[in-house]
Amino acid sequence: MSAAPGALGDLRVIDCSRLIAGGVLATMLADLGADVIKVENPRAGDPLRTWSKSLGELWWKIYARGKRSITLNLTAPPGHPRLVMVRVSGWGQDGPYRDRPGFGTMVEAMSGFAATTGPEESPTLPSFPMADMVAAQAGAVAVLAALHHRDRVSGRGQMIDVPLYEPLLSILGPNPIEYRAHGIVRERIGNRSHNASPRGTYRTSDGKWVALSASTPASADAMFKALGLGRLLADPRFATNDARIANGEAVDQAIAEAIGQRSREEIVRLFETEGLTAAPVYDIADIMEDPHFKARHTFVDLPDPELGTATMSAPTPRLSHTPGTIRWVGPPLGAHNREVYAGELGLSDTEIERLKADGVI
């Protein structure tokens, strides 16, 4: 990773958040060079420190990376006309739900995500904090927009309201207009698509899986022919995209039988030769050994006092002149107290010790 200053090297961020969404938002800015000071309660710290604690605070090491940690019994920040503030909550700063607890699971349920995800039997929740991660990315973009407006237009900061549910709802496709215009309520269809067929995951003869998608009529025709199923294109159930969508189970059965006769490697090689879109379904072990991921340095190793080496995803997206960098893993609670309070705020050793004794830091 480059040691050059990042694109946000002149930006200071005060991170008073807890858990995922706000914390990851600040982490993204830290990766791009911002000086992020993580402010935590001196007694307990961010609850994220307790996630996977028995394995070595793995979540904390990753999502507090590159931040400086100080402790402070925080009540309310002083006002500042140029300050850009981000408030991340479940439901936003107004509306009837504003005081409700706002965890990702609740948002993933009420945003429409769970209702349209998974097999027909039951709604499916993601296995990772998706709502928080999506909100973090939306919030990071909003911060950059507010900074640009402050520095180029108004000279003043502003408050940014990031509810977890709105960014997630915004990426779920045209559901609102479909419902308002036509009364359509999309149902769960597993791995199939409402827009194109075939699309799904299929088990290969060696017990592994591949995913494929044919988003155009030409690619669908070529896919059937490559799998030895060209004869089915004369069947009205398979002849057009709309027909295939309506007969999704029959399409899945035919493709599953054809793919099940070959190994994953054979299927992937076949599709690459034919210029078709299919990919192996990877777990983390596959990902770590893939030559493309290695060649692009998708993961970085950082020194860690507990693990020796902490491996995590490199900053993304990649900027050509000011690439992001990860400076260190999530630090111990209050690791930078003296650096910030003495070195930058000018407090004496006596004053710092008094603040510690009083439970302020």
pLDDT of 79 reads 60
| Pairwise CA distance, residues 70 & 8, whole Å | 21
Domains and CATH numbers, the chain: 12-172+295-341 (3.40.50.10540), 199-281 (3.30.1540.10)
Question: Would you call 320 exposed, middle or buried from its count of C-beta atoms within 10 A (0-12, 13-18, 19+)?
Answer: exposed
**Encoding tokens for residue 104?**
């990702």
pLDDT of 210 reads 97
pLDDT of 121 reads 83
Instruction: Say which of 132, 206, 252, 304 is annotated catalytic.
Output: 132
| Annotation says 235 is catalytic | no
Over the chain (361 residues), what is each successive 10-residue block's mean pLDDT? Answer: 70 93 94 95 89 86 94 69 92 95 93 92 92 96 96 95 96 92 93 93 97 91 95 96 95 96 96 93 97 97 95 95 94 94 93 90 88
| Pairwise CA distance, residues 100 & 89, whole Å | 9
pLDDT of 77 reads 52
Angle (nearest 5°) at CA 342 between 339 and 343: 60
Query: One-letter amino acid identity for 123?
Result: P
